[in-house]
Amino acid sequence: MKELLLLNGPNLNLLGEREPGVYGAVTLEDIERQVRDICKQEGWQLKSFQSNHEGDLVDAIHEARHSSKGIIFNPGAYTHTSVALRDAISGVNVPMIEVHISNVHKRESFRHTSLLSPVSWGQIVGLGPIGYQLAAKAFIDHFKEDTDDGEAK
């Protein structure tokens, strides 16, 4: 069965209670359920992982090269700082869609730069939590004709 990895970085475990004016009331559990439902409907499997630790996210990206066709990734604040996460994505042959709940371009200038965007397949920014579902749909659509359940291209 084809698999997607839903990966969330620091502080995203607090969705629903963290700055609701910016990130809304939806929890990470809600998001995981919504994305998993979409995957199930299309015969895909979802693996989900959140960590507040950069190295754990690097490890999850490395593991994805054996199992996942694509990575839906909200790197949180590491978006703007992490060469290690960028190198991890560059180092595995798994396409990544970068998702941000808020419109980072409307916010503080330090959020305007993403070290991950140049190594992403695409980005979804500022649409709220539905961005994660749209990323899943984009991957499923992209791999529609692909019958290979093995390693991601």
Instruction: Give contact residues for ligand DQA (rule: CB under 6 A).
Output: 11, 74, 76-77, 79, 100-102, 104, 111
Sign, CA torsion 81/113/68/90: negative
| C-beta separation of 73 from 94 below 8 A | no
Sign, CA torsion 146/2/55/99: positive
- Is 105 known as a binding-site position? no
- Is 65 known as a binding-site position? no
Active site residue 23: yes
Q: Which of 53, 66, 100, 132 is catalytic?
A: 100
Active site residue 78: no
d(CA 68, CA 6): 10
Q: Report which residue type is found at 140.
A: I
* CB nearer to ligand DQA: pick between 2 and 100: 100
- Is 11 known as a binding-site position? no
Annotated binding site: 74, 80, 87, 101-102, 111
Pick out the residues of the known binding site for substrate: 74, 80, 87, 101-102, 111
